[in-house]
A and B are shown apart, each in its own frame.
Chain A
Amino acid sequence: MELLTNVLAATVVAGTPLLLVALGELICERSGVLNLGQEGMMLMGAVAGFAAALSSGSLLVGVVAAVMAGIAMSLLFAFMAVTLAANQYAAGLALTIFGTGLSAFLGAGFVGSSIDGFSRVAIPLLSDIPVLGRVFFNQDALVYTSFIAFAVVALFLRNSRGGLLLRAIGEDPEAANANGLKVLLVRYLAVAFGGGMAGLAGAYLSLAYTPLWTENMTAGRGWIALALVVFATWRPERLILGAYLFGAASILHLVLQGLGWKSSTELLAMLPYVVTILMLVLLSWNPVRTRLNTPLSLGQPYRPGS
């Protein structure tokens, strides 16, 4: 029981950065914009967060800096993909390559430094629930933030006029424009939200998960999050499940080693990526279902009246 609780708690921790970045991307994709630059934005968030926290001594300043860095990166993307109607695939790839390079460049001086990251805060009463209390309510502040973010995104999509607007624009920007909806503005906001969440996810990695900075520390989580959004068929409820599932896959090798199972670390480290492909297969083999769930205008450049 003790082991199970620990594993579940570690799963939530490992799933949190995925949940954060994927929630952002979900909103972004619902507006019809596919941002493949998650990896780059996360890395920039991670390095900005770490640098700011280290120099100011405040984790909160670090988090704010990370979110700002993510938003700044996403606005670069939005300028290319929304304003200039550039190919979204290429623009996203550019963002990832650029973010990887820039974060490594800026972070070169911080490699080897360490800070005291976020520590766990037990929520009174809730954390006393057997098993679940320890799993969900004895975590750090960023994990709780991810819960709130999830609730906000889910409610926003289901119940708000803004959510309706977002869905409409993602389905058919042309019709939305004819209806007088502000397509470009909404898309900018959606992309920026995605960037902020990616920055936050990056901050989680460098300020809570392993409180330090190394090059490429996201290790493909941005890409996994993109797969996660497909897996979730663009629905937040499935996204949270998926995020924890992937979280479990990524700590499985630690668990197995803990149980004394001898296997190569390199082989076990493949697991999250293999699981990602399997998930994609499971969700995509029926093209009709994918098509019915995908925001119809996803990935297609759009400029009003062109």
Chain B
Amino acid sequence: MLLLERRPVASSVMRWASPLLALVLTVITGFILFMVVGKDPVEGLKFFFITPISDLPGLAELGLKMAPLLLCAAGLTVCYKAKLWNIGAEGHFLMGALGASVMAVQLSAVNGFWVLPVVLLTGVLGGMIWAAIAAGLKTHLHCNEILTTIMLNYIALNLLLYTVHGPLKDPYGFGFPQSAMFSDSALLPVLIEGTRLHLGLAFGLLATVAVWVLFARSFIGFQLNVIGQDHRAAAFAGFRVRKLTWFAFLVGGATAGLAGASEVTGPIGQLVPQVSPGYGYTAIIVVFLGRMHAVGIVAASALLALTFIGGEILQIAMQMPKAVTALFQGLLLFYLLTCDAFIHYRVRLKKAAPQPTSAAVAAAPQEV
């Protein structure tokens, strides 16, 4: 009989092996899935994982999709380290895009080096305001942040739809629900000529490094960590939990807001209803898969960026539904959490050997 048994110490090997194992399992499942729906699995997996990154424009596209994921994931890491379950990155992202677009349209007749920073900052502010609502609801009215942030995501989406159908609708847009194109001075510079890769990727990498420094070196990072691991210890130490909660939410809002702003001022150049294919939600997977660590997050964001592009390619090349992307992402997170169980547990093959009890485990070190 297979039994789960708690490890005396958490396995650090498993902590890093688990994401890789999850990826392998996802690929295997994908292989089976392709066979079930009657497509060539080798071909399919190649289209999904290899084709997108086989040339420079492909790699640039990957970087393009990584940028918003990195930014959102950086902010979410700050929240999740403190066990603040902010799943509102999508909403912050949309509000960032909305804020930046409003400003960009206002300044469409203006030229100047300051236009872009102002537009981006408005986006950051938009994200922060949206996050501040959730933070205030949590710290002052004790509302569960999961539910409030998800509701705020839906509200943000409807607000954005309202804006592109109403006040911000391009009068010369043939009735399409979208804003006017932004002026050149409101657009992010392109990093590699001839591709769509823009400065947003640099923002994303910077944010990742900043968050790494925050948790590796700063006392604020330490305090957030303590809040996440042990709320009562944080209260005992006298950390200002409320202030730190606000800090985490605002960072989350700012980075996701910047991601939204970078998206409309980068590859799109205007506000459209489909500004996000779900970056804010996917970033949650990035954070878990990347172990909340800078290196891991960069790798995870590359992988998940790939699922967006791979899904699009499959749709065109093999007539698969676009939902393949979401399916892969869901599978990945699923397997990851399952594999993560083996950080703390191991499987033992033995008949009738029950789990050690809490008291006995606590007592164990004293016995030796």
A residues near B284, Cβ cutoff 8 Å? 93, 97
Bound complex: CA A87 to CA B284 (Å)? 14
Considering the complex, give the chain A residue whose CB is closest to the CB of B150. Answer: A223
Is A97 a contact partner of B281 (Cβ separation < 8 A)? yes
Is A84 a contact partner of B345 (Cβ separation < 8 A)? yes
Q: How far is the CB of A81 from the nearest CB of chain B, in Å?
A: 9
State which of B144, B326, B354, B358 has its C-beta within 8 Å of the C-beta of A101: B326
| A241 close to chain B: CB less than 8 A | no
Question: How does the 8 Å CB contact mask read for A169-187 relative to B, with 1 for contact and 0 for none?
Answer: 0000010000000000000
Bound complex: CA A90 to CA B355 (Å)? 25
Is A105 a contact partner of B158 (Cβ separation < 8 A)? no
Bound complex: CA A179 to CA B324 (Å)? 47
Is A266 a contact partner of B6 (Cβ separation < 8 A)? no
Considering the complex, give the chain A residue whose CB is closest to the CB of B321. Answer: A108
| B331 close to chain A: CB less than 8 A | yes
B residues near A303, Cβ cutoff 8 Å? 4, 6, 355
Q: Given the known inter-chain contacts A102-B327, A215-B323, please indicate yes or no for A306 contacting B147, CB distance below 8 A.
A: no
Q: Given the known inter-chain contacts A93-B284, A101-B326, please indicate yes or no for A86 contacting B340, CB distance below 8 A.
A: yes
5 closest pairs, A vs B, by CB? A98-B330, A101-B326, A104-B323, A108-B321, A84-B341
Question: How does the 8 Å CB contact mask read for A220-248 relative to B, with 1 for contact and 0 for none?
Answer: 10011011001000000000000000000
Q: For chain B, residues 307 to 333, give those with C-beta under 8 angstroms from any C-beta of chain A.
A: 321-331, 333
A residues near B14, Cβ cutoff 8 Å? none
Is B323 a contact partner of A108 (Cβ separation < 8 A)? yes
Query: Is the interface on chain B under 10, 10 to 19, 20 to 34, or 35 or more residues?
Result: 35 or more
State which of A86, A91, A101, A280 has its C-beta within 8 Å of the C-beta of B148: A280
B residues near A36, Cβ cutoff 8 Å? 146
Interface residues, chain B, CB within 8 Å of chain A? 4, 6, 85, 87, 137, 141-144, 146-148, 150-152, 154-155, 158-159, 161-162, 165-166, 281, 284-285, 288, 321-331, 333-334, 336-338, 340-341, 344-345, 354-358, 361
Bound complex: CA A59 to CA B247 (Å)? 52
Q: For chain A, residues 80 to 122, give those with C-beta under 8 angstroms from any C-beta of chain B.
A: 80, 83-87, 89-91, 93-95, 97-105, 108
Q: Given the known inter-chain contacts A264-B162, A270-B158, please indicate yes or no for A304 contacting B355, CB distance below 8 A.
A: yes
19 A-B pairs (CB sep. < 8 Å): A36-B146, A84-B4, A84-B337, A85-B341, A86-B340, A89-B146, A105-B324, A223-B150, A230-B144, A266-B165, A270-B159, A276-B151, A280-B143, A285-B142, A286-B142, A290-B142, A303-B355, A305-B357, A305-B358
| A4 close to chain B: CB less than 8 A | no
Is B361 a contact partner of A306 (Cβ separation < 8 A)? yes
Bound complex: CA A174 to CA B148 (Å)? 31
Is B288 a contact partner of A284 (Cβ separation < 8 A)? no
Is B333 a contact partner of A97 (Cβ separation < 8 A)? yes
Is B142 a contact partner of A273 (Cβ separation < 8 A)? no
Is B143 a contact partner of A91 (Cβ separation < 8 A)? no
B residues near A89, Cβ cutoff 8 Å? 85, 146
Considering the complex, give the chain A residue whose CB is closest to the CB of B177. Answer: A266
A residues near B148, Cβ cutoff 8 Å? 277, 280
A residues near B324, Cβ cutoff 8 Å? 101, 105
Bound complex: CA A102 to CA B334 (Å)? 12
State which of A98, A219, A270 has its C-beta within 8 Å of the C-beta of B331: A98
| A269 close to chain B: CB less than 8 A | yes
Q: Given the known inter-chain contacts A84-B4, A93-B284, A306-B6, please indicate yes or no for A98 contacting B150, CB distance below 8 A.
A: no
Is B328 a contact partner of A90 (Cβ separation < 8 A)? no
Q: How far is the CB of A42 from the nearest CB of chain B, in Å?
A: 14
Q: Given the known inter-chain contacts A97-B330, A277-B151, A277-B152, please indicate yes or no for A305 contacting B341, CB distance below 8 A.
A: no
A residues near B147, Cβ cutoff 8 Å? 223, 226-227, 230, 276, 280
Q: How far is the CB of B354 from the nearest CB of chain A, in Å?
A: 7
Given A273-B151, A281-B137; 13 other pairs, CB 8 A cutoff: A80-B337, A86-B341, A94-B333, A97-B333, A98-B334, A102-B323, A104-B326, A220-B154, A267-B162, A280-B148, A305-B356, A305-B357, A306-B358
Is B144 a contact partner of A105 (Cβ separation < 8 A)? no
A residues near B152, Cβ cutoff 8 Å? 273, 277
Q: How far is the CB of B219 from the nearest CB of chain A, in Å?
A: 26
Bound complex: CA A273 to CA B156 (Å)? 10
Is A220 a contact partner of B150 (Cβ separation < 8 A)? yes
Q: How far is the CB of A40 from the nearest CB of chain B, in Å?
A: 8
Bound complex: CA A230 to CA B146 (Å)? 12
| A164 close to chain B: CB less than 8 A | no
Q: How far is the CB of A134 from the nearest CB of chain B, in Å?
A: 32
